[in-house]
Amino acid sequence: MNVAIISDTHIPSRANRIPTWVRERVRSADHVIHAGDFDSRDPLATIEDLAAGLTAVSGNMDRGLGLPSVATVDLGGVEFVVTHGTGSKTGYEQRVARTVRDHASEGPTVGVSGHTHELQDTTVEGVRLLNPGSATGAAPATSTSMLTARVTDGELTVEVHER
């Protein structure tokens, strides 16, 4: 299974549109995870139209979109726990790891979060955390970025895409 992982589109407050190369990866994925801060209904609708399947959460800029603050989805034998990571940069990784542990089931689990606009693939307190950065390069990001994951029988391989 091919999973596109994106976050922090911030349309229209910090960007005008989702770049074509990101749209293409979203369209070709079996499932899309968006870790919040769509910023408005338009980018949410765009991702919904492009995605074969979507798991999305609300970010601190997503008032009134009706998205949960935490969502879980099992893809290819790996459980993804998705949260935006809202709050101070201080303690961010520990806060996200705690949320993942609180919502995880048994078996392979990975946390996906956004908020910082910084690419990340790290392990914190035994929890693997992924942050795709900003899919539009919204400030404070210095580039446009996303992740893709190949998930097969509980095994996860992650690739960074950045421009």
- The per-residue pLDDT for range 81-91, each reduced to its tens digit, is 999 999 999 99
SS3 content of the chain, % helix, strand, coil (to 5): 20, 35, 45
**pLDDT tier at 115 (50, 70, 90 boundaries)?**
very high
DSSP state of 38: -
Q: Which domain holds residue 121?
A: 2-162
* Threshold 0.85, pTM exceeds: yes
Using a pLDDT cut of 70, give the percent of the chain over it. 100
Pairing of strands 109-112, 119-124: unpaired
CA-nearest of 64, 107, 104, 106 to 83 is 104
Mean pLDDT estimate for the chain: 96
CA-nearest of 76, 74, 80 to 5 is 80
124-155 per-position pLDDT tens digit:
989 999 999 999 999 999 999 999 999 999 99
For position 121, which CATH number holds?
3.60.21.10
- Whether 40 and 10 have beta carbons less than 8 Å apart is answered as no
**pLDDT tier at 61 (50, 70, 90 boundaries)?**
very high
Query: Amino acid letter at 32?
Result: V
Q: What is the pLDDT of residue 108?
A: 93
Question: How far apart are alpha carbons 149 and 163 in whole angstroms?
Answer: 18
Structural domains in the chain (count): 1
**pLDDT tier at 4 (50, 70, 90 boundaries)?**
very high
- Whether 2 and 150 have beta carbons less than 8 Å apart is answered as yes
Q: What is the pLDDT of residue 60?
A: 96
CA-nearest of 30, 39, 79 to 58 is 39
- Residue 133 CB neighbours (<10 A): 27
Tokens describing residue 124: 């914190």
